[in-house]
Structure 1
């Protein structure tokens, strides 16, 4: 701990994790390291771009220098972390900013409304987990994304989420954010200062500038989570006249619930899987188990049949429970995901799951190279952030966050997954999850502009006040946020 109550964490990153590929710093401008002519590739391997420069900032002043250089050179700026986005949100051939060196965490603070912690944009989920666990009293983020090798700058400003009807998106945990805008000014956003601008900043897609810090809500880790893995049949969960209401009752009794489906019953066998892996989390005051017996087990992503030999329950500390066994492993994946607003009887979700299971089976069995596919879905409460795909004015509205995935390089996955997303959009008025693959859905720009409508206008009022020359707008965002009539 330093005198200013800031702790620098250098996380030990697992050797098996595949990260976005960047070059090494080759030059310095006003103290900021940068490299030139790098080819950047994202985690999933579906995006590659040749960049003019990649900057490696470590301080607030570094961020201001980068913005000044971009302004003087008339260049676009986008930020990257671990590269865990399958849409081209960070892609630019101009100036990319690797925020990985911006990884300071400030001492947690408690006031009348509870605990908060302030962290820089490049902090890894695993870093914050370890930092909060070591605090006295131990703290945790109550709902979190599954992989712990992603960085907060991305997961906060893209509206990423965990699983649970007691939680919303991670953007909804923010109480304050600071961003360096296109004029090189550090702007502080909070609900007390300007509620509308704060709402925009919490889920800003990197369009207000370079994020410096975010302050988020955390809670005392005085309870643990009982994690129960079961393997019921698809029919018992999603078919029958009472299926939707039974599913709803099951979700409401848990703190969080998640579902995984793989199409094959046994590895390298042709039989269709009739069961689905259900992971349920419930709060408990029971002591946590020793996790050493699970060391060496492959992450879920490397062994999709984990569920067949890990059914049962175990008690874990909150961060262990939220991430177990979801390490990144050595397998990289492609992912298309949407938010579907859940009907009161959950009937639309039962229908959507039944449909996508059959489409997944048709796709996967059409050639042997398509074996590595999966379906995953979780449920959260609505967000009030105006660009969230889970936005709703009613805070009790439930959304199903559903994904179809495949191992990187799976032939035909893009066409298949885009078709799935298009069906969800057409049939259920779904909204694509911003970090996932959505850009090639036919008519997606006009659909998003129509559906977000006045919320885009509201967003643009704040955006243009901070970036009047569109320094932070790349080719992905320009068609959506252009200012001609909606």
Structure 2
């Protein structure tokens, strides 16, 4: 098979911003991320098939990082030394119906976990737009779905099992470890190798989703809270053009009192008459079922189906969180940049996430709105746009998604997290010699 070439984003983060330099086109055998924009810095990738092998590898090497399903767009999981893969550790380990928890191998994908849970009569509280991501990786970076009453995926974590730098095992739980647990859940890969995760579950439920087209921007400005509260999960997709939101995706939990049919109009938007992809030019075959067709929760909460390529495939992504109270102001600030943004954009998505108490979560102590950008693979242009967007959002204390592209300097970033000094100490306590540190952590958590 002919080797594909991808744009390499170097993991050498010597300057203040985390944006890596453009180094040209490459074609070799080092692993790359899912979208192809990031090439990791070493080909020394060691698979671990058992818990004992994880311990052996951790003890053997002085520097090590875990590489999961590769859905991050920056160097958060990169290493210039060695990486360990847990791809073959992907089992459900225990289901506790009484406690309403499930314990899984860290690298189990949400799509696989969801089908298992549903067969057993259970569900998770939410899912991200992609079911292809791993439990451990998503929770480590505070990945999220949508819904004003739904916390990010990390908020479902009830316990973690971590192999520390010396090979010892530590288990932290919400029930027993309090603040130490809340510090460790969104760990950014810096504490050790997470091998098991216990998640809260609930009884299974059915859902349906409707899509509306062309929501006027004035309606969004005047009724943002009502729009976001209109369904269990709401996503707004926009290209920032024509003073409108292109598509509104409403994901409803089915139950008593729900009308049988959707209204033909939603705040001036019209009900779609066919299944749609968030990117209008692409086929909806990869997307979860719409048109109000009932289905299980795990086939409606994500935007994309497990067996298909999500989103556009080859792309760049960035995402910014602002307090929900500033949502309209922040959206309008980005909208004013529409003519600069749109030529390089596939689509943007706006979602809400409830507040949580996890130290390094972008939603720590504040209900938040996330403004997401799915960019065309045009890195030089995107690299120039990110600082402009961040400047417009700076008055709102913007926080970036940890696993996506951003240029906020460490000095700025560290002021946005009140618990960051304590988190830095936690990393040092767990990993005094920096075995699990890399350029991303050294720059953004420890850098100045």
Query: Counterparts in 2 of 1:328-477, with a 5 A limit?
Result: 328-329=309-310, 331-343=313-325, 348-365=326-343, 370=344, 372-392=345-365, 397-409=366-378, 412-424=381-393, 426-438=394-406, 440-441=407-408, 444-453=409-418, 455-477=419-441
- Aligned residue number for residue 119 of structure 1: 104
Is 1:228–1:313's contact at 8 Å kept on the other side of the alignment? yes
- CA 1:227/1:119 → structure 2, altered by over 3 Å: closer, same or farther? same
The residue correspondences of 1:282-361 to structure 2 (distance < 5 A) are 282-285=252-255, 300=278, 303=281, 312-325=291-304, 327-329=308-310, 331-343=313-325, 348-361=326-339
Alignment match, 1:26: none
Cα distance in 2 for partners of 1:131, 1:303 equals: 34
Q: Tell me if 1:162 matches 2:149.
A: no
* Ranges in structure 1 where 5+ consecutive residues have no aligned partner: 1-17, 21-36, 265-271, 290-296
Instruction: Provide closer, same or farther for how the CA distance between residues 301 and 177 of structure 1 changes in structure 2, counting only shifts above 3 A.
Output: farther
Please list the CA deviations of residues 220-263 of structure 1 after superposition, one character each: whole Å capped at 9, or x if unmatched.
11x31231211243334234xxx1xx221232242111111135
How far apart, in 2, do the equivalents of 1:99 and 1:105 lie? 14
Contact 2:131 2:304 survives alignment (8 Å): no
Give the drift of 1:305. Answer: 7.8
- Counterparts of 2:58 and 2:317, CA distance in 1: 32
Pick closer, same or farther for the CA change 1:303–1:130 going to 2, 3 Å.
Answer: farther
Give unmatched runs, 5+ long, in structure 2.
1-5, 9-27, 261-274
Where in structure 1 do 4 or more consecutive aligned residues deviate above 6 Å? none
Structure 1 residue aligned with 2:114, among 117, 129, 140?
A: 129
Structure 2 vs 1, CA of residues 251 and 97 (structure 1 numbering), >3 Å: closer, same or farther? same
Q: Is residue 209 of structure 2 the alignment partner of residue 252 of structure 1?
A: no
Shift of 1:188: 0.5
1:199, distance to aligned residue in structure 2 (A): 1.1
> In terms of mean alpha carbon deviation, does 247-256 or 146-155 score higher?
247-256
Secondary structure of the equivalent of 2:97? strand
Cα RMSD after superposing both structures? 2.8
Contact 1:331 1:407 in 2 (8 A): no
CA drift at 1:104: 1.3
Count of matched residue positions in the alignment of Structure 1 and Structure 2 = 402
Give the distance between the partners of 1:93 and 1:109, measured in 2 at CA: 40
TM-score normalised over the length of structure 1: 0.76
- Kindly provide the CA deviation profile for residues 37-67 of structure 1, in whole angstroms up to 9, marking residues without a partner as x: 9512112333223315111101110111111
Match of 1:69 among 57, 60, 73: 60
Q: 1:276 to 1:180 in 2, by over 3 A?
A: same
The TM-score with structure 2 as length reference comes to 0.82
